Amino acid sequence: MNNFYSQEKVFFQKAKKNIEKYTNIVILGHINPDGDCIGSQTALYYAIKAKYPNKKIYFPFAETEYSKFLLPQNYQNEINPTIFKNSLVIVVDFHEKKRLNNLKIPKDNFVIVIDHHPEISRDLGDLVWIDKSSMACCEMIYFFLKALQFPINSDVATALMLGIITDSGNFTHTNTKTTTFIAAAELMQTGVNLQTIHKNLNSQPLINLKLHSYYLQNFVKKENLIYFTFCPNDIKKIPLITTIKEPFSSTKNIPKNLKNINVWANFIQINKQEAIKCSLRSIEEIDVSVIARKYGGGGHKNAAGITLKNWKTIDKVIKDLKFISKII
Ligand SMILES: [Mn+2]
């Protein structure tokens, strides 16, 4: 892609200057990181490290079951606040403080933002590139690295491809564009480990069969809406559920191709100390991100999320979802 607007070219050059200037760099993703967020953090780490081996680069909270294979051997999945001292901070796949992973970025740090979420109440970033037309943050980072001639080795390419595959739903979501395929094709040429990505993304513990079965017996259908709830009192029905991370995440897309279902959602709380995790999904022009933002969450038009403490609020969310599910 050589047809970037001059605005983007200015961002690229300024970002490069800052990356060169700082010895320490902290790359942060959002709370409950997804494949695009982790892929963006990891790819930037490998690309900057390949070009400037002496820089110290931290990218905490990028470890999940399906992306462990991407991480360098000495990876530390934690953060010591002292690492912010004299560091450049790069924020990927989000641009609001409330989506920081229980962290505070000190006021005097210079912060670069690269994101593709709609800019509504941005409160982060001294140097900002937000492109809501972009399918994935990983897609943006690919063109960024390419424009600046950073090395794109197989580690960088595999990390970026993880984000492109997950945020596009295997190239099926409506935001999948020509540039998505251009990025994916060029990444394949540089040595993406595609089979390893799919193996890690799709391998599931056996208990997931039980969760699917439980989901199928307990989801609720209200006209054009399907929703599913699981609260701490339900644990006795599937005691083994406490042994797995992100239970029911593999059920998020089950209603996707059902006729006349326009909106679907999961509300999951495993123990009382944790928040209720809500994932909202919709088809075509129905915008679930509006509902997510109303309750302090965020995301995209067809895939958004909220974390809430109170089941009474969930009743309100469900009411709102039922309302918008009738729009088409
Ligand atoms: Mn994303």
What pLDDT, in 10s, does the model give residues 54-86? 999 999 998 888 999 999 998 988 888 889 999
- How far apart CA 316 and CA 307 sit, in angstroms, is 14
Final residue belonging to a domain, choices 201, 219, 243: 201
8-state DSSP, 255: G
- The Å distance, Cα 146 to ligand 1 centre, comes to 19
Percent of the chain predicted with pLDDT > 90:
77
- The Å distance, Cα 257 to ligand 1 centre, comes to 22
Q: Are residues 315 and 214 in the same domain?
A: yes
- The Å distance, Cα 94 to ligand 1 centre, comes to 8
Selection from 108, 122, 112 nearest residue 92 by Cα: 112
Would the pTM of this model clear 0.75, i.e. be above it? yes
- The Å distance, Cα 168 to ligand 1 centre, comes to 9
Q: Are residues 28 and 103 in the same domain?
A: yes
- How far apart CA 109 and CA 105 sit, in angstroms, is 7
- The Å distance, Cα 272 to ligand 1 centre, comes to 29
Q: Are residues 116 and 177 in the same domain?
A: yes
- The Å distance, Cα 137 to ligand 1 centre, comes to 5
Query: What angle, 0 to 180 degrees and rounded to 10, lies between the N-to-C axes of helices 194-202 and 154-167?
Result: 50
pLDDT-derived band of residue 7, with 50, 70 and 90 as boundaries?
Answer: confident
What's the mean pLDDT in 144-167? Answer: 97
Residue 1 covered by a domain: no
Give the domain range for residue 222. Answer: 207-324
Neighbour order of strands in the sheet with 56-58: 56-58, 24-28, 87-92, 110-115, 127-130
C-alpha separations of 50 from 26, 150, 153, 195, 233 in Å: 16, 8, 8, 24, 49
pLDDT-derived band of residue 174, with 50, 70 and 90 as boundaries?
Answer: confident
Place of tokens 């998020």: 252
Determine the pLDDT at residue 79: 81
Q: Are residues 244 and 279 in the same domain?
A: yes
- The Å distance, Cα 97 to ligand 1 centre, comes to 16
Q: Are residues 309 and 263 in the same domain?
A: yes
8-state DSSP, 85: T
Residue 291 covered by a domain: yes
Other beta carbons within 10 Å of 210:
14
Q: Are residues 78 and 154 in the same domain?
A: yes
Q: Are residues 174 and 244 in the same domain?
A: no
Q: Are residues 252 and 159 in the same domain?
A: no
Place of tokens 């067809």: 302
pLDDT-derived band of residue 286, with 50, 70 and 90 as boundaries?
Answer: very high
Final residue belonging to a domain, choices 167, 184, 201: 201
* 131 CB burial (10 A radius; 0-12, 13-18, 19+): middle
- The Å distance, Cα 237 to ligand 1 centre, comes to 34
Q: Are residues 279 and 197 in the same domain?
A: no
